[in-house]
Every structure is written in C-alpha cells, then in structure tokens.
Structure 1
Amino acid sequence: MTETTLIFILTTIGAAMMGTFAIIVRMKAIKKPASVKKIIIPPIMMSTGFLMFLYEPTHLPLARIVTPLMVGAAASYLLIRTSRFEIHNGDIYMKRSKLFIFLLLGLLIVRVLIKLVMGEQIHLAQMAGMFFLLAYGMILPWRIAMLLMFRKKQQEVNEPIMDIPMRERT
C-alpha cells in the first residue's frame, strides 16, 4: 500500500467520522430550544479554519476558491428550503430535516469521488482548502437564513395574542 493510498483511506475515514459526529450533534441539538447564539456560533467558530490559508501549500487560484464557494451555496439552498422552526410551549425548536443527513452523506461521496478523480492533479493541502471552502460556503448562507427565520418566529412568540373580535348583535 502506497503512502498516497493510506492518506486517502485515512482522510476518507476521518471525513466519515466527522460527518457522523455532525449528525449526532445535530440530532441532539434539535431536542433543545434554538437560540441566536446556537445559530451564529458554528460559522464564527468555523471561520478560524481560514487560518489554514496562511500556510503556503494551501494557497489556491481564484477559480479554486470561487467554485467550492458556489457549490456550497447551492447545497445550502437545499438546507434553507428544508429548515423550519416550530414553537412549542413558548420555545422555538428546529424541526428535524432528513435532508441534512442525506446532504452530509452526499457531500462525503462527492468528496471521495473528487479525491479519486482529481487527487493526483491537486495537492492534498489545496484539496483540504477547497473542501473547507465548500463547507463554509454551505454553512454561512444556511445559518444566515436560519437566523432570519428564527427572528421571525421570535416575533410570533413575542406578539400578544389578539382576541378575535366578537360580532355585534343586531
């Protein structure tokens, strides 16, 4: 087994483990009320990943920056369309979406296929940077949309319930 094959196998297993971890964390988070903090922290914390681009081997040409960001934004559209909040006992909860699991699995499959097809043409560090950009391009628009949807639900919770006017007797 060559070193390249071993790295490919280990990074694929690592990606599968991270995806599984993300699914587990997401399923646990759905059981607790949502908050602005829970919505905005993931992209903020993930943004530290941009520090990888200080490492010279991860530098990318413009096309390899724009393409993964656009693919990520396209994937986020699916998440945005299927993400919903529900109000239960005055608290706002994220509604479970089966698409999230399938999207993560789909991205893992796409990642493996891209690594198989382009693995020899693109340096491993650059490939890691591109996958990071894809993930960030997906999570940022999704979380912004979630924040807007959450704020809208917050207004519903905070609005006083209006009494239905009674008809005047004639």
Structure 2
Amino acid sequence: MAKLTLEQWQEIRAKREAGAKFQELAREYNVTHQAIQKRAKAENWGDGSDVEDVIRRKVAEKVARIRRTENPEKKAEAIDAEAERKAAVISRHREEWGKVTDVIEATVQSLEKKDNRTASGLVKLAKTMAEATKIQQEGERKAWGLDIVIDPASLRKMTDAQLEALASGKTIL
C-alpha cells in the first residue's frame, strides 16, 4: 500500500464528499478502504449526501485564506492573519459604539444644564446613530462570520458524534 501525500488525501476527501464510495477510492489510490474510512471519521468528512455543508466549509477556508498544507507554520500564520482581520472588525465596532455613547453623555450634560432644546436634538441624533450602527454592524458580523447562530431544531437531528464535533469546535459535515 502507498503512503499518500496531503494533496492526495485532499483529492480523496473531495471525491468522497462528492459521493464516491470508499472501495472505489481505495482502488484508485492503492490504499485500504479502512484507512480512508478512519480518516473520514476522524476529520468528519461528508459522504456526498449534503453538499451544502461541504460548500460552506470550503467557502470558509477560502475566505479565511486557509489552505490545507503540510507546513503547520504557514497554516498557523494564515489562521493568525484571519484572526487579526476579524479582531480589527470587532475593535472598530467597539469604537463606533463609543461614539454613540459620547452623544448620549452630551445629551445628559445638556439636560443637567437645563438646555432642553439641545438635549432634544442630541437624543434624536443618538437614537439615529444607534440604529444605523446596529444595522451596519449586524450586516458586517454576518459577512465576517462573527455571529454563528444554530437553530435548536437542527441540534435534535444531529448524531452524538456530530454534537461532540460541534462542542469541540470542529466543522460538522
């Protein structure tokens, strides 16, 4: 039996997730079907029945610019770079809410000075800013994958192995 390269394992995974059978892949790559099954189970490969999950995983890897590589240092660098990009978005979001807070504080100061006309305008400004900030940031958080929402009904359909994988932070296929 041949020792497979990372690229060959990636090919096998892609073919398996497209619906290829373990025996077919074993013959094609001159490896036992048990070896493929073991790796598929360990890495939670799909079997071709739900291509949407496979597509989501591949899109996430491409967006994060993370490729499967034999070089762990390159993968760690790519992961760190993506974490930095997402952290920058979160930091900017915090700064934006700070601006809304500044307007609210100015409103309170105007009220303390009995300047109701200024306070009234500032209250309207704070409300508008808060609503616009919320809408913008919700969209950005979705686009950046910062808020992952899981439908509780989908959890009931998962196997124990899938729930374990989810709990450990692995991609579920």
Structure with greater contact order relative to length (CA < 8 Å, sep ≥ 6): 1
**Which structure is higher in strand share?**
1
TM-score range with shorter-chain normalisation? Answer: under 0.3
TM-score by length of 2: 0.26
TM-score by length of 1: 0.26
Larger radius of gyration: 2
